[in-house]
Structure 1
Amino acid sequence: MSGRTGAAPGAIPSPNIWHHTSTYELENRAADPEHAIESAMRSILGPRGWAGRTLLDLGCGTGFHLPQWASAPDAAARVIGVEPHADLLTVAARRVRRLGNVTLLAGTAQRIPLPDASVDVVQARWAYFFGPGCEPGLAELDRVVRRGGTAFVIDNDARRSTFGGWFRRGYPMVDPDAVEKFWSTHGWTRTPVDIMWRFDSRADLEAVVRIEFTREVADEVLAAWPVDRTGGVGGLEVDYAVNLWTRQF
């Protein structure tokens, strides 16, 4: 599937999921198989987690993460997915059609289609909030998150891990120190989290690498990454580091 139809006004195109939706699904399945990110979120939210709360997944894409927020044993009372791309919302609607506590809305981080002080927990995972330039979205979070609420932003930590090295090679214009200074200056707290990519096949790994980087960079990193010819997982796992940025409201 390839995303080609309309998007909400002001949307910033994604270079991967908008144009390579099926391959990005492989990436979603491969990323963080041990659920380290959710564990870190729970440790910050406390024993209750998101249970009984209103949770906003901002930039929800195809809704990959929505079922985990909406399902027992720690289901949110209401889950809202906001996504600017119409094709991705269509996929998300199919994914959550049996979940009665999920609402999908077309919108952007800069103009969230929700009332003031209407959500308790926000997650934005590899979506829009990449440091300098995202101030309009931060202002919207100030508006929609209730007092006592928590927002989480998950992004790459380019200073650590194998994937971090690949990211620095592919995106040399991104200064990880400047990104950290941006978030800290705006009152967010950093929690480093170690995750991994774990793929079912070398073909899946290569397909995902090729939607994340230019052909030249993808060729370089794949040529250097081991191929496990013994039937093991050696070449199918990539160590990966992220920053979990948190703000309490």
Structure 2
Amino acid sequence: MTVSGGRFPDRASEERVRRSRSKLVRVNKAVPGAIPSPNIWNDPRAYEAENRAVDPDGRIEAAMREIRGWDGAHVLDVGCGTGFHLPRFAADAAAVTGVEPHRRLADAARARVRGLPNVAVRTGVAQDLPLPDASVDVAHARWAYFFGPGCEPGLAELGRVMRRGGVAFVIDNDATRSTFGGWFRRSLPSYDPRSVERFWAGRGFRRRSLDMGWRFERREDFEAVVRIEFAPGLAAEIIATHPGLEVDYAVNLWWREY
């Protein structure tokens, strides 16, 4: 999803984002202060296929519910993109707010939840959430505070909008293991998992390590997703050497009670 208020872990990723920004600035569809997300901003259709493939057994949601469910709660989805997760939250929550800095994606999210009276989608950035103080019970940021260090403004905003006893969840990649983790390390060799762990722990977050996966229905979708997630050379190598429709994938579920 969209990264807001983050930093770039190495020059390669910075260049990818710069290229993404150069394509998207022409249409002026993003809120000022947003940092482009090269995958969903450039190809929301492929990212939709990725969302469908991610975590087919629902392990992230199950772990979140063990920590803090959202029945009757106000849920905030930061960097909600096209709103893939909003209907799922809306099934149990009293109210759901999705915040997305890219206007076209926010429009797609609104279309997705049309007819769900307890869901609102607002255009905004993580460091300036369009919500009142102490109004959120559960916050969800899936690949939105991606690199940890640099996201302090967004986390300060979470501290403002979270109710006492509320819980914020941040999902990111576990780069220390799994097939996807190996691809991720090759894509961003300067990424330091220990530094990221220290960052979240130092801000009161706890970690739960989860094994989930990608499970695609079509090879074409797998290949399209690999191409939006990795640079062309690495993507071509992955496509050539990884057969089938499944990938083992580890993530960190970071969470904090306010």
| TM-score (structure 2 length as normaliser) | 0.89
Inter-partner Cα distance in structure 2 for 1:183 and 1:114:
24
Percent sequence identity over aligned pairs: 64
Note the C-alpha offset of 1:133: 0.5
Which residue of the other structure, out of 238, 245, 248, is the alignment partner of 2:247?
A: 238
Moved over 6 A (4+): none
Distance 2:165 2:253 in 1: 18
Q: Tell me, yes or no, if structure 1 residue 183 matches structure 2 residue 211.
A: no
Distance 1:18 1:157 in 2: 23
- 3-state SS of paired residue (2:213): strand
- The one-letter code of the counterpart of 1:6 is K
Match of 1:155 in 2: 172
Match for 2:78 among 58, 79, 84? 58
Q: Does 1:14 align with 2:23?
A: no
Give 2:55's aligned amino acid: D
CA–CA distance in 2 between the matches of 1:9 and 1:131?
21
For 1:140, the equivalent position in structure 2 comes to: 157
1:108-133 CA distances to partner (integer Å, 9 max, x unpaired)? 11111111101000000011342110
Counterpart CA distance in 1 for 2:165 and 2:41 is 34
Equivalent residue of 1:17, what SS? helix
SS in 2 for 1:16: helix
Whether the aligned pair in 1 keeps the contact of 2:169 and 2:256 (CA below 8 Å) is yes
For 2:196 and 2:238, how far apart are their aligned partners in 1? 24
Contact 1:107 1:113 in 2 (8 A): yes
Paired letter, 1:221: I
SS in structure 1 of the partner of residue 83 of structure 2: coil
Structure 1 counterpart of 2:12: none
Contact 2:145–2:170 under 8 Å retained in 1 = no
Output the amino acid matched with 2:53. A
Alignment of 1:1-249 (within 5 A): 4-45=27-68, 49-71=69-91, 75-226=92-243, 235-249=244-258
Structure 1 window deviating more from structure 2 (58-67 vs 217-226): it is 217-226
In structure 1, the gaps of 5 or more residues are 227-234
What is the distance in 2 between the residues matched to 1:143 and 1:129?
20
Tell me how far 1:8 sits from its aligned partner: 1.0
Deviations 1:50-83 (A, max 9, x none): 0000000000000000000001xxx100000000
How far residue 173 of structure 1 moved from its aligned partner, in angstroms, is 2.1
Q: Which moved more, 1:238-247 or 1:3-12?
A: 3-12
AA aligned opposite 2:220:
A
The aligned amino acid for 1:77 is A
Amino acid at match of 2:114: R
Do 1:163 and 1:240's aligned partners in 2 also have CA atoms closer than 8 Å?
A: yes
Amino acid at match of 2:46: T
CA RMSD of aligned residues (A): 1.2
Report the alpha carbon displacement of residue 219 of structure 1 after superposing the two structures with TM: 1.4
Question: Aligned pairs, how many?
Answer: 234
Give CA deviations for 1:28-57 in whole Å, capped at 9, x if unaligned.
000011110000001111xxx100000000
CA distance in structure 2 between the aligned counterparts of 1:175 and 1:15, rounded to whole angstroms: 21
**Distance between the aligned counterparts of 1:121 and 1:112, measured in 2?**
14
Residue by residue over 1:7-33, the C-alpha shift from the partner in whole angstroms, topping out at 9 and shown as x without a partner, is 111001001001101110000000011
Once residues 214 and 37 of structure 1 are traced to their aligned partners in structure 2, the CA distance between those partners, rounded to angstroms, is 27
